[in-house]
Amino acid sequence: MRFSGSIENRAAKEKAIDLAGESRTGLGCMALTGIYGEVERKQAIGTLHTALDYGVTLFDTAPLYGSGANEELLGDVIGSRGGTTIVTKFGLYANAQGELFRDSRPETIRSSVESSLKRLKRDRIDLLLQHRTDSRVRVDEVRVCINDLISEGKVGAFGLSCVTSNDILFWSRDGGLDAVQNELSLNTGSKRREIAIAEEESAIYMAFSPLARGILTGSRASQQGDIRMSMNGFPALRDSFRLQAEKHRATIDLEGGSHARQAIDWVLAQGSNVVAIPGCRTPNHVAEIFR
């Protein structure tokens, strides 16, 4: 089932299932184009096909990931395939030097959406997120532009990424939100207030990095080009949070399953409107989570 803005009055739980299926779990695609080290195109394609074989229907991307290469990959493998939902974003980009900058001017939003549609080979973006808020642009300007894109059939629904509880409340009361995407894992701890506010506003809560960028599964950051190598104290954090994960595992009422799956199920247990989007770089990673 395609997710669309037409279901905005339905319960957040039902919207979460519409977005990602009964499992409420989709695939975060950022790692497929090099953020955690180089990934060969053949491997990336195989990872996506494995996800499709396991029944994954939700795929999360952004123009920022690989400077558009991530969206192009999804366009080549998934394109307009029926029964799939694509989430992409606008508002956060990188210049030639790799420095990040925010830009949510209406003309930039529209240009970004048009470019994403071409790369994704789709007629509509099912869910469009503002990657980061932009204090230089008025909220009403962003809202009008998004509403126009929805009216034109180019965007199905709208949400925010990396925002506070106050942001959720403000935007919801300014015209409604379909989704919020924030980091959530055993690493971050419960964010029940944020999740509850989103649910009260009939918004899905999309949890990115539910495995804490691999910390909770013992991932090693050793490849050239792995952004985790630039994170201060990553090895120590990894070991600390692995111990924390072991502590929490004892409180999770599950039998069997991989460490990764248990960590994701903890995330999903935080609210019926929560959807997890773990990242995977290999077919084996996909199988560990979705089998």
**Residues classed as catalytic:** 65
Label each residue of the chain as H, E or C.
CCCCHHHCCCCHHHHHHHHHCCCCECEECHHHHCEEECCCHHHHHHHHHHHHHCCCCEEECCCCHHHHHHHHHHHHHCCCCCCCEEEEEECEEECCCCCEEECCCHHHHHHHHHHHHHHHCCCCECEEEECCCCCCCCHHHHHHHHHHHHHCCCECCEEEECCCHHHHHHHHHCCCCCEEEEECCCCCCCCHHHHHHHHHCCCEEEEECCCHHHHHHCCCCCCCCEHHHHCCCHHHHHHHHHHHHHHHHCCCCCCCCCHHHHHHHHHHCCCCCEEEECECCCHHHHHHHHC
Written as one letter, the residue type at 166 is N
Query: Distance between CA 256 and CA 43 in Å, rounded?
Result: 28
Residues 6+ apart with CB under 8 A from 107: none
